[in-house]
Structure 1
C-alpha cells in the first residue's frame, strides 16, 4: 500500500487578501511523479509555495509523512526532507557550480563532500564545469544545477516548478529525462508543468487545477486520453 508522503487537505491559501487556493486537496505517494496542470492563474505554483512554507495556508492541513508542516519555515521544511526547485532565480549566477552545490547543503551537519561527489558522478556535466560560474550555463544546464542543488539535502520529496519553461524542445526533453532520473533515486516528485502533455507523459498521476481547486484527478495516461481534459486543457 502506497504512503502519502505529502498531503494537502482542504487548503485555502493566497497572497495578502487575494485567495488563490480554494478547498484544495491532493496528495503525493512514495516514489511517484505527480504533475499539476491547468490554465494560467489556476493556482499550480501556489500549491508548491504553500507546501514549501513560502505561504501559510489560511485553512486546511499540509502534512509530510503524516506530520503537520503547514506554515513551517522553508529552511525547516528542507531539513524535514522536502526540496524545492523554483521556476526562476533557482541558481546563484555569481557563484561557481561547486559553490552552488555547497550552498544547497548549508543545513547538513555532515557528509557534504560525499553527497556532492555522488552528484558529480550522476551529473557529469556539472563535474566538468564545477569551477565555472553558474551564469555561464545554458538554460537547461542551469536547471540541472538547480536539481542537483536541491538534492544535496537528500530529500525524499522534490517540488519542481515549470522545469521546461523557456527551454527549446530538445533541451526540455533532456530536462524531463533528468526529472525521471531524480525520481529513480526514490525521490517522489510533485511538478508543475506548462507543457501538459510532456509533463503527464513522464508522470504516474496528474491533477488538473482550475480556479484554485482540483477539477480532474486521475492516472496520467487516463488524463491524456480524457477528451474533456484534452479539449479544455491540452489544446486538442
Structure 2
C-alpha cells in the first residue's frame, strides 16, 4: 500500500486525435491539498477527467493508494473512494438539496441516513434549505451542495474543478474555506483553480501546467514566492 493517495505517471491524454496531456506526472499525498494552475488550454481540467475515467489515457499509469486504476470507469472509482466535483452542471437544479444528496449516495450499500445527517451538520446552509430546489441557490451555495453531494460516498480523494469559477469575489473565500473544511476531515484534494493565488494559498503543494506538461512544481508557498512563476502565471 502506497503512502500516496494518488499517482499519475507519464500520462498522455486528449480528445479524439488532439493530444492535451504530454508525459504528465504528479502525485497527491494522503490528507493533502494540491492545486493545479496554468493558462487556459494548458490541460488542467483534462487531468481531472483522465483521473476520474471520463477520458481514457493513451499512455501512462494512474494509481489510487498504490493500486492501478488506469481507465477505470467513474462509477467504479466512486465505489473505490474517488469523488469528483465538475466545474459546471454539478448539481441537479430541478431537485431539492435533500434529493441531490440522496442521488450522490445511490451507490451506497448502507449508512446513507447517517452520512446525510452528518453533512447537514457540517454544512448548516444546506440544512436550512434542504427542501429548496437547487436552482434557487446562490452560486456559492450550489458549490457547497456540489461538495456535499460528492462527499456522500465518503471519498478519501476528491477532485475539484475550478471551485471559484463564476463566483463573486466576496463568495470565493467562503468556498475556499469549505474546501479546507473538507480536507481537515481527512479527504485528500486535487484541485484545478484559475484563481491561482487564492488556490495556492490554501494548498500544501502546487503544479503549474503549460501545454499539457508540468512546467513547475513545488510547495505552494514557494510557487507563490517564485518570481518566474509569478511573472508568467500569477500576473506579476
The TM tier, using the shorter chain, reads over 0.9
CA–CA distance in 2 between the matches of 1:109 and 1:228? 50
1:70 Cα deviation from its structure 2 partner: 1.1
Partner of 1:204: 204
CA RMSD of aligned residues (A): 0.7
Structure 1 residue ranges without an equivalent (≥5): none
Offset of 1:204 from its aligned partner?
A: 0.2
Structure 2 CA distance for aligned equivalents of residues 68 and 20 of structure 1: 22
* DSSP-derived class of the 1:9 partner: strand
Mapped to 1, the partners of 2:75 and 2:21 lie a distance apart of 23
- C-alpha distance in 2 between matches for 1:21 and 1:123: 36
**1:52-131 maps to which residues of 2 (within 5 A)?**
52-131=52-131
TM-score after normalising by structure 2: 0.99
Residue segments in structure 2 that go unaligned for 5+ positions in a row: none
Match of 2:162 in 1: 162
Instruction: Write the mapping of 1:2-13 to structure 2, written as runs, cut at 5 A.
Output: 3-13=3-13
Separation (CA, whole Å) in 2 of partners of 1:81 and 1:189: 12
Distance in 1 (CA, whole Å) between partners of 2:179 and 2:169 is: 15
Offset at 1:50? Answer: 0.4
Deviation at 1:48, TM superposition (A): 0.3
Q: Residues of 2 paired with 1:58 and 1:35: CA distance?
A: 24
How far off its partner does 1:4 sit? 1.0
In the superposition, the TM-score normalised over structure 1's length comes to 0.99
Distance 1:211 1:70 in 2: 22
CA distance in 2 between partners of 1:183 and 1:192 (Å) = 15
Give 4+ residue runs of structure 1 displaced > 6 Å after superposition: none
**What is the total number of aligned residue pairs between the two structures?**
235
CA deviations over 1:75-123 (Å, ceiling 9, x no partner): 0000000000000000000000000000000000000000000000000
